[in-house]
Amino acid sequence: MIRRSLLAAAVTAGLIAPAACADPTHEAEVNALGPEVPGIPPGPTHRAGQPCLTCHGGLGPAGATFLTAGTVYVNPYTPGTTAYQPLVGGDVHLVDANRLTYDALTNEVGNFFVTPSQWNPTFPLGDAPADGGPLDISVGVASAGLGSATPMTTHIMRGGVYASCAYCHFDPPGPTSPGHVYQN
Amino acid sequence: MTPRKTTLASAALACLAACTVPPASSTILVDAPSESATEWQPVADYLGHRCGSLDCHGDLQRSLIIWSCDGLRLDPTDVPGCHMGLHAPATTSGEYAATYRSLVGLEPNVMTEVIASGGADPDLLTFIRKARGEEAHKGGQLVVAGDAQDQCMCTWLAGNTNTNACTQAVSSTQ
């Protein structure tokens, strides 16, 4: 009987523990993103423009974990506009604190993502040349026929949920955001 | 408990609660480092660049909030991105002042102690310890004691900002 009670207690604790460890703030952030858009299942082209690492930053619920990810558009925010042309085939050039680089390409909806198995940088991304030479592009976007890369002059200080483009770059532009990432 | 004892106990509790709430007019005097343009602004420019990005201290939810032209803006009509050609104005005097108040007001008693000693022991301040990685910091260790970034902050606390160190601190972390 005692053994059964212990077993029951262990099972109960096992069921309760995950709920007790849930992060209500993270859960609220995930829920705030809303459901999938009908016709676009989870995958590389879903949820364009959203902060990818809210779900893909290691806290779940997405299975795949990203190091950084985002969506790039051709043009900047324009008042009254809700749909933007995605930058297809854009080169997102990333530089880490040790000057190691990685180039990610944007897909047909402008999304890009980098997984830890593809690149294992040292944060912050976008640090200076150690020799004090000319600045590297920290995070740039370039695409054939669409002009030169646009450098980002600030750092991406750390990974996790903070390393989504849309964590800082959301519309409309205002005191807490420069607006979405764009090429031109 | 008799009604009389209950009343007394309630009164004592009410008095205790009243005594723990500071009056609205109370002020804390802080011996603070300089807020002048020549002493503070080079430090603020460095802090804005190194610590004030929107994913770090350019966030109203942080204890230490840093306003800067590439990060959090004070005026609701301004946007970040002054160095990206986004028609964003340079860091304003209001933003310098707001960052100053945020930093100096973090630990007013400790700040007073550090300033009274002429900046002799800056790592009594949490923001110095966090930057040096001596205390848990989500951004990790960002400076080494004695390097240009550290000198920029510590000379300000000592009352004689090394502006060259601040300039070097910004350029070496771009």
Residue B25 reports pLDDT greater than 80 = no
Residue B124 reports pLDDT greater than 90 = yes
Contacts of A153 in chain B (CB under 8 A): 70, 81, 83-84, 174
Do you find a cis peptide bond into A172, omega within 30 degrees of 0? yes
Q: What is the pLDDT of residue A137?
A: 43
Kindly report each contact of residues A58-61 with a partner whose C-beta sits within 8 Å and lies 24 or more positions away, as own/partner: A58/A160, A59/A23, A59/A26, A59/A160, A59/A161, A61/A30
Other residues' Cβ atoms within 10 Å of the Cβ of residue A147: 12
Other residues' Cβ atoms within 10 Å of the Cβ of residue B140: 15
Q: What is the pLDDT of residue B152?
A: 96
Nearest chain A residue to B82 by CA: give it.
A153
Cβ–Cβ < 8 Å for A52, A67: no
Instruction: Give how far A136 is from chain B: nearest CA, Å.
Output: 9
Interface membership of A167 toward B (CB under 8 Å): yes
Q: What is the pLDDT of residue A92?
A: 86
- Which token pair is B129? 């310890």
With a cut of 70, which residues of chain A have pLDDT below it? 1-21, 127-150, 184
Chain B residues within 8 Å of chain A (Cβ atoms): 49, 53-56, 58-60, 70-76, 78-81, 83-84, 86, 88, 138-140, 171-174
Q: What is the pLDDT of residue A133?
A: 41
More confident residue, A157 or B4: A157
Instruction: Give the number of A-B residue pairs with CB atoms closer than 8 Å.
Output: 74
Q: What is the pLDDT of residue B103?
A: 97
Q: What is the pLDDT of residue B161?
A: 96
Instruction: Give how far A180 is from chain B: nearest CA, Å.
Output: 12
CB–CB contact A158 B70 (8 Å): no
Give the pLDDT band of residue B81 (cuts 50, 70, 90).
confident
- Dist. CA A12–CA A23, nearest whole Å: 20
Other residues' Cβ atoms within 10 Å of the Cβ of residue A125: 24
| Cα–Cα distance list, A138 to A158, B80, B128 (Å) | 14, 17, 27
CB–CB contact A132 B172 (8 Å): yes
Q: What is the pLDDT of residue B22?
A: 64
Interface membership of A99 toward B (CB under 8 Å): no
Instruction: Give how far A135 is from chain B: nearest CA, Å.
Output: 7
Q: Beta-strand (E) ranges in chain A?
A: 68-73, 91-95, 101-105, 111-114, 139-142, 181-182
Interface membership of A153 toward B (CB under 8 Å): yes
CB–CB contact A157 B70 (8 Å): no
Q: What is the pLDDT of residue A146?
A: 56
Instruction: Give how far B143 is from chain A: nearest CA, Å.
Output: 13
Residue B74 reports pLDDT greater than 80 = yes
- Which token pair is B170? 């910004």
Residue B9 reports pLDDT greater than 80 = no
Cα three-residue angle B132-B72-B164, rounded to 5 degrees: 50
For helices B163-171 and B148-157, give the axis angle rounded to 10 degrees.
Answer: 150
- Category of A57 on φ-ψ map: left (φ > 0), alpha (ψ -120 to 50) or beta: alpha
ipTM over the 0.90 cut-off: no
Q: What is the pLDDT of residue A143?
A: 56
- Dist. CA B30–CA B132, nearest whole Å: 24
Out of B73, B80, B172, closest to residue A128 by CB = B172
Out of B72, B84, B140, closest to residue A153 by CB = B84
Q: What is the pLDDT of residue B19?
A: 58
Residue B108 reports pLDDT greater than 60 = yes
Residue B94 reports pLDDT greater than 80 = yes
